Amino acid sequence: MIAAERGAGKNTLDAYARDLADVSERLQAVGRSVLDARTEDFRAYLAGLTARGFKATSVARKLSAVRQLCRFLYAEGHRKDDPTAMIEGPRRGRSLPKILSVAEVDRLIETARALAARTEQSEGERLRALRMICLLEVLYATGLRVSELIALPAAAARRDERMLVVRGKGSKERMVILNGAARDAMKTWLAALAEAGRFEGSRWLFPSFSETGHLTRQHAARELKDLAIAAGLRPDKVSPHVLRHAFASHLLQNGADLRSVQMLLGHADISTTQIYTHVLEERLKSLVRDLHPLADEG
């Protein structure tokens, strides 16, 4: 149902499969199944997750998977009730997203360019550096999810266009803006690949020998952490998702409105985008402090 009706991607489907397999296994251990489990059985399962050391966010995700399954079973007539309807999820404090400063993003890009410009290096090392420049420039220019970034087609770089259509979560399409640096980085990267005779005929912007034919999320994240170390930044502070946060935060700092950022990020609900409101609050405070005629009298 979530694949056919909601257009869920592979990562979402895999996560649901793991979560539902886990609850099914725990219910079987007490002689139950999802078809006859009671509310107290599911409450005991959730309590067991906490005892097993799962964080509140993981417990909430597993509860969401169970809820959706029970609702589906009830709607399809496989159950006469929904035993999860009265279960409250764990309270979660919403943590602020990790972000990088503009100077830190600049340092990452400058380090990648310096690595690509080294004279004493193998062809493979130079190609990896050029690929990293391309990954960084496109990611910071667009705020794409890493899964969207690695699955970009090579055709995206062959059209001299300022807009790019991206298929995101739920197979929903949205437009993102490409700046000149991102377009140049894509063309330089593909030209270097062609010159080296690598991955001829590949349809992907970031081809590899992986099962999918393109760079994996894990590989992109590892190389970004290696770059962070080379740039003198803490590797635990840098990831593709942190750069997505940086894209959004820096837009808001420079005057973008929350609704526009929501559209660019591909958030279905603006409440998801509201994790960045702390950036807006700081900007509004500085506006009042710097521009209000009575600011200095307080």
Active site residues: 145, 169, 241, 244, 267, 276
Please report the sign of the dihedral spanned by the C-alpha atoms of residue 119, residue 121, residue 126, residue 129.
Answer: negative
123-142 helix and 102-117 helix, angle to the nearest 10 degrees? 160
CA 257, distance to chain mean position in Å, is: 21
Length in residues, the chain: 298
Q: Backbone phi, then psi, for 175, in 5-degree steps?
A: -100, 135
DSSP the chain: -TTTTT---HHHHHHHHHHHHHHHHHHHHTT--TTT--HHHHHHHHHHHHHTT--HHHHHHHHHHHHHHHHHHHHTTS-SS-TTTTPPPPP---PPPP---HHHHHHHHHHHHHHHH-SS--HHHHHHHHHHHHHHHHHHHH---HHHHHT-BTHHHHS--SEEEEE-GGG-EEEEE--HHHHHHHHHHHHHHHHHT-STT--BSSB-SSTTSB--HHHHHHHHHHHHHHTT--GGG--HHHHHHHHHHHHHHTT--HHHHHHHHT-SSHHHHGGGHHHHHHHHHHHHHHH-TTGGG-
